[in-house]
A and B are shown apart, each in its own frame.
Chain A
């Protein structure tokens, strides 16, 4: 059963990793911990759910499951729409709230508190629109198939794991190989020097919101596909997201994904070995341990 816990941990860890990339990027560029990031996952999932339902209603053929998976083409199409709309939501919140606070030179703690407020508002709005009843992309049941070493996984789960891996590679390439990525790293190291290098810092901030929110939408949809969609799904993932982004080292994309997998594995093994009621404590313990023992994380740049 340990091998099965490892499989479950990897799958959940992939979702945590995707969300943690968004946290780590916004943290390194905007320099505050955005406690509203989890809500972007929830909104991503609900927006995709609505789009997928609408698509299915208009073109029923889009709801027919694709191959071995539990969902039809309406879900991947809705995912892309949701990435765009969730990015717009993040830009709107930044424009209404964080951007104003930045311009007035507010202290970091004000931004953090504002993100708590934004999270609360966004979450309650979801509950108001969709109620707190769990929702699902499909009602189709999936049978998990045996893999090697006694592990079992559903096709959906394997797809999520593969997609998470591909997404990380793409984001990593974007950051290290493209002008936009270089500009993001420059702003993260020294925003003033970046502007002296001709970089429009405001554009980079927008790009970070778009990227972070789009990844959050992907993670939210994945979580919705494998578990369920609830207004509090993002809140429940918040602690694991922060544990992973800090363990991975703020600013490091591969670090966030690897740490996400570690947090996911630790959670799954805890459930297996100690008991399910301890799951929520795992991320917290990791978070505290990293802050005490290795505040720069596994891949963080040491701050002199």
Chain B
């Protein structure tokens, strides 16, 4: 439980060279941890996880995965080195069927393992198994998130990062997705979850990190943050914003 899997060191990043959005983030994540990344709209949560995935240019600082410096490694190679990332929107190939999405994701595995991994994902997400030839653009929001998770988990990443998988889902679907995440984390996959709903996020995670204006404002065990009067006043005030996925 204690070995470090992800480490961010003085990370500064942003979409334009002279406009840093992430303004110096240090973070160390241990193997098996379930970390929820919280913060107000525009705090930079998505930017931070996209930087880790290699989708946003790093201005300075380093990103280490299992001790290896991956800062300048292109996205597709990061994915091959055990990093799994589910973006907030457009996280499946809508023109392809469920099965094609899985086949595509399995493509970077050795040939002999592909079929078994596809079967393992279908067993893990039975909803998908019964609809393999459905065009994934026709799936409901919850099923899409399941497929997005399956697409990412198929290669057995060491760490799974999800950007607001609950956005736009019904409360019932949200709890289904969260249950699945808890199960995935329990199977040994380190999990980082970006979440708008502070309370729900802190209830399933073991650790909470609150990002404000591109900096880490709080970093503490989840149950501690849940009971923290400052946090609850700042972020549990009830002005939860509804978001709709595109």
How distant is the Cα of A194 from the Cα of B90 in the complex, in angstroms?
11
Q: Which residue of A is nearest B53, CB measured?
A: A196
Choose one: B85, B94, B95, B100; the contact of A196 (CB below 8 Å): B85
Which bracket fits the contact residues of A?
10 to 19
Decide: A198 and B155 in contact? CB cutoff 8 A. Answer: yes
Known contacts A190-B90, A197-B105, A198-B155: does B80 contact A185 (CB below 8 Å)?
Answer: no
Chain A residues, Cβ within 8 Å of B54: 195
Q: What is the CB-to-nearest-CB distance from A30 to chain B, in angstroms, rounded to a whole number?
A: 18
Known contacts A196-B85, A200-B76: does B107 contact A183 (CB below 8 Å)?
Answer: yes
Chain A residues, Cβ within 8 Å of B94: 189
Q: What is the CB-to-nearest-CB distance from A25 to chain B, in angstroms, rounded to a whole number?
A: 15
CB of A146 closer than 8 Å to a CB of B: no
Q: What is the CB-to-nearest-CB distance from A203 to chain B, in angstroms, rounded to a whole number?
A: 9
Q: What is the CB-to-nearest-CB distance from B212 to chain A, in angstroms, rounded to a whole number?
A: 27
Please report the number of residue pairs spanning A and B whose Cβ atoms sit closer than 8 angstroms: 67
Give the secondary structure class of A's interface.
Answer: helix
Which bracket fits the contact residues of B?
20 to 34
In B171-192, the 8 Å CB interface with A consists of none
CB of A201 closer than 8 Å to a CB of B: yes
Decide: B91 and A195 in contact? CB cutoff 8 A. Answer: no
How distant is the Cα of A278 from the Cα of B27 in the complex, in angstroms?
69
Choose one: A182, A200, A201, A301; the contact of B104 (CB below 8 Å): A182
Chain B residues, Cβ within 8 Å of A193: 87, 90-93
CB of A239 closer than 8 Å to a CB of B: no
How distant is the Cα of A186 from the Cα of B108 in the complex, in angstroms?
14
Contact indicator per residue, chain B 77-115, by CB within 8 Å of chain A (1) or not (0): 101100001010011111110001001110110000000
Q: Which residue of A is nearest B83, CB measured?
A: A196
Known contacts A182-B100, A182-B107, A192-B55: does B91 contact A301 (CB below 8 Å)?
Answer: no
CB of A179 closer than 8 Å to a CB of B: yes
Q: What is the CB-to-nearest-CB distance from B206 to chain A, in angstroms, rounded to a whole number?
A: 25
B interface residue numbers (CB < 8 A to A): 53-55, 74-77, 79-80, 85, 87, 90-96, 100, 103-105, 107-108, 151-152, 155
Q: A186-B96, A193-B92, A195-B54 are in contact. List 17 more A-B contacts (CB 8 A).
A: A182-B100, A183-B104, A190-B90, A193-B91, A193-B93, A194-B76, A195-B75, A196-B53, A196-B79, A196-B85, A197-B105, A197-B108, A198-B107, A199-B76, A199-B107, A199-B108, A301-B95
A interface residue numbers (CB < 8 A to B): 179, 182-183, 185-186, 189-190, 192-201, 301
